[in-house]
Amino acid sequence: MMLNDDASPPPKNGGAARETEGYSNPVDPSLSRPFRFKARPEDFIVEELPLDVEEPDPSGTHVWFEMEKRGISTPDATRRLARALNRQPQEIAFAGRKDAVAVTRQRMSIEHVSIDELLSLSLDGIQIRNPYRCRKKLRVGQLAGNRFHLRLTGVEEETRDRLADELASLQRTGVPNAYGDQRFGRGGGGMALGRALVKGTPMEYLQCLADECARGPQTEAAHELLRRIREGNPSELRRATELVRSLTDDLRAVARTLARRRPDDLGELVRAVPQRSRSFHLAILQAKMFNEVLERRVADETFATPLVGDIVRAANGRHSELMELPAPITGPSDGPSEASGETIVTGPIWAADMKAATGVPGEIERAALEAEGLTPADLANPGGLRPRGARRPLTAALGGALTEEWRDEAVWIAFDLPVGSYATVVLDELARRVSGRD
């Protein structure tokens, strides 16, 4: 249950769609499963694996600290912390988002704050630990990965040994690197936002934002804001800030821009939505297209097998087009490992400048784009963004796999995953293998 970078739970104001096919919904409760996983904080622990830890410097203006949160998302936690410190949420830096329905431990940083003030805070569901000063801000993506601890129940005695064997097997082979269900959220709004941002009118995108509001005052204020935009009464537009207190963060920015400038170009109101939210809405659509490519490659049993025309990533992190098939491996394989010098097959995070595959892999990638009614040019400047294309491995390496003591038909498992890979996908693959459905 991990988002990356990009990917942890969607921001409060930028809802996301719940997809129900293929790898878009990897933990399907309708499946007959050899174990149960109930998403409760006490059964799901996530620990960030640090990368490039900054050395303490008493003269530094940035304070790094570890936050443990329980039952809340990373954006919600930063909002609560910012409110307690009388700061803005964007002033609090973190390397990656973490799940809401979990106990998670992650690093954060904030500039120009007293360590004593941090340690004196008392916030429900949040604990601050080990603060220290350093010279640099924590960067997005500045983590090696995440370690997951999950409690599985309903594990019968005859299943436990196979569970341990299959988890060890996944460590050797890797798992399909799908975006998990948390990337898409609930209710259908996230995909609608992504599609409206790329192909819709500004009003369609703003309407989707309004539709994502919770019931109650937020919904009423959001639809009142849209009415004023549509009708264009100058007096009402100037007073748009009177709605701010009842709007989500995304629509507050729209209301303030509307009151200050009353732009004729509604695209300016779209661009007023915080860039982080617009980028997230686009990322939902990109993730959906990636999952469609991966689903096809899994069905063809080629998601871990390079084909001519694939864009592969080498051990040094460089990407290149595969012009000929590699020599067959005659010895036992330990699964995907860039450290061993193997190349990793990648799939598309579509943008106008993305390096696309050719041949059969390229046909699969273009089909996912065309299924959304898009061309690469449509992704050049959606909603004022300038996204850069990327490649994501089709296979995720799983490390540090452990199966702990079985007791009362329950067992804890633990494993490491790279940044942006999802524990729910591992559970789905594990269930398929233990049940003999692969």
> If we measure between CA atoms, which residue out of 99, 101, 95 comes closest to residue 49?
95
Burial of 352 (0-12, 13-18, 19+ CB in 10 A): middle
Q: Which residues of 394-403 are buried (b: 16+ CB within 10 A; e: fewer)?
A: bbbbbeebeb
99 counts as catalytic? yes
pLDDT at residue number 223: 93
From the list 43, 99, 310, 416, the catalytic residue is: 99
Rounded CA-CA distance 262/116 in Å is 44
The token pair at 395 is 């296979």
pLDDT in tens, 90-117: 899 999 988 888 999 999 999 999 999 9
Rounded CA-CA distance 218/246 in Å is 5
> If we measure between CA atoms, which residue out of 7, 352, 424, 377 comes closest to residue 190?
7
The token pair at 300 is 């063809």
| pTM tops 0.75 | yes
E-strand ranges in 77-191 read 93-94, 103-111, 126-134, 143-153, 175-176
Task: Quickly tell me which residue has 């449509």 as its tokens.
Answer: 378
> If we measure between CA atoms, which residue out of 414, 358, 364 comes closest to residue 147?
414
pLDDT at residue number 327: 54
Helix (H, G, I), strand (E, B) or coil at 306: coil
User: Which H or E element spans position 285?
Assistant: helix 275-299
pLDDT in tens, 172-189: 999 999 998 878 866 667
DSSP letters for 22-39: GGGS-S-TTS--SSB---
User: Which H or E element spans position 261?
Assistant: helix 249-261
SS (H, E, C) 191-231: HHHHHHHHHCCHHHHHHHHHHCCCCCHHHHHHHHHHHHHHH
> If we measure between CA atoms, which residue out of 175, 217, 205 comes closest to residue 423?
175
pLDDT at residue number 66: 97
Residues in the chain where the model's pLDDT stays below 70: 1-32, 185-188, 214-216, 315-317, 321-341, 437-438
Phi and psi angles of residue 427, each rounded to the nearest 5 degrees, phi first: -60, -40
pLDDT at residue number 322: 67
Burial of 304 (0-12, 13-18, 19+ CB in 10 A): buried
Residue 18 identity (one-letter amino acid): R
